[in-house]
Amino acid sequence: MKATAKLHDLGQSLWLDNITRDLLKSGTLKKYIDELSVTGLTSNPTIFEHAFKNSTLYDDSIRKKAGSAVEPLFFDLAIEDLTAAADLFKQVYDRTNGLDGWVSLEVSPTLANDTKNTIAAAKMLWAKAARPNLYIKIPGTPEGLPAIEEAIFSGVPVNVTLLFSREQYLAAADAYLKGVERRIKAGLNPHVSSVASVFISRWDGAVAGKVPAELTNKLGLAIGKRIYKSYCEYLASARVRRVCNYGAIPQRLLWASTGTKDPKASDTLYIGGLASPFTVNTMPEATLKAMADHGEVGGLLPADGGDCEQVLAAFTKAGIDLNALAAKLQVDGAASFVKSWESLIAGLGAKVGGKPVSV
């Protein structure tokens, strides 16, 4: 049995952190579903930037839109791909009663600090895509939190992105619950799905070469364990059990940024090391293939966090301010997506001769 199937049998959903028209047209995505236990996918501006640069399958659609406003064109192209993927995963969505089989579309990264326009964009994109198994990705920045709450209250499923620390995760979980509780109070169906995406590998990249050798590539997994402990406590809380009794579904934890950055480390470090039931691990295509080929699944993450606090204390002793680094990683992550977004929009603009216009 492939390691991907073992993880799935342990109760973890495996998603692909990629989307291209080539994956859809070639049947590769369908193959991953059938053979590698893939039950969903995620996207972001960087993924679409690479897709548009490295494929000719978008050229006809782009040429037909000559002179168009560029941002609406991007979302047209992205929604075309993602709705096709959503349809491919619809059988999974139906079989799991809406728990799995999701795809994700991100609002413009330029809105990361703009609550009002994030809310408007989330509602617009959700309505435009018109698929029950499509998440709208909203960053878990301070300005994004009220947008998450409002989107959930409005019935828009949300993938909360750009979370790095326990504190950021708990804030996102709180925003989700506030939206659900408002729906219950208003007499609305509280069954609105959400995932909270915690970025793992960027922690290790941020401290590479700055800590003793024995701590190399241990920070991301320790942060993951700390957050998983809080997640288990969240699932067991009276507040979550109360909303579930009204018909809500708990927000699931999603492990993101799980491709190994260090060439000296295992290429499946953040897959086997984050095995945990009722979570999602979304992984780059190369990582998914590596896990299926030679990955190993050890024990499950400990619900009590295991040795995470001792490991994190060692990083603090080595001079790493974890709270400050978490804030920096979130700011830098948002800036990185904006950079990819601007490059993507500029590239599309050059092809259609249009002017970038925000949606």
Q: Please list the active-site residues.
A: 137
Q: How many CA atoms lie within 13 A of 103 on its CB side?
A: 24
Secondary structure class of 268 (helix, strand, coil): coil
Distance CA(219)–CA(199), nearest Å, equals: 12
Secondary structure class of 255 (helix, strand, coil): strand
Phi, psi of 256 (to 5 degrees): -120, 170
Secondary structure class of 164 (helix, strand, coil): coil
Concatenated DSSP letters of 289-314: HHHHHH----PPPPTT-TTHHHHHHH
Distance CA(93)–CA(252), nearest Å, equals: 15
Instruction: Report the amino acid identity of residue 40.
Output: G
Give per-residue burial for 74-93: e unless 16+ CB within 10 Å, then b. Answer: bbebbbebbbbbbebbeebb
Q: End-to-end CA distance of the chain, in Å? A: 46
Instruction: Report the amino acid identity of residue 203.
Output: W
Distance CA(122)–CA(69), nearest Å, equals: 19
Distance CA(268)–CA(67), nearest Å, equals: 44
288, two tokens: 């998914």
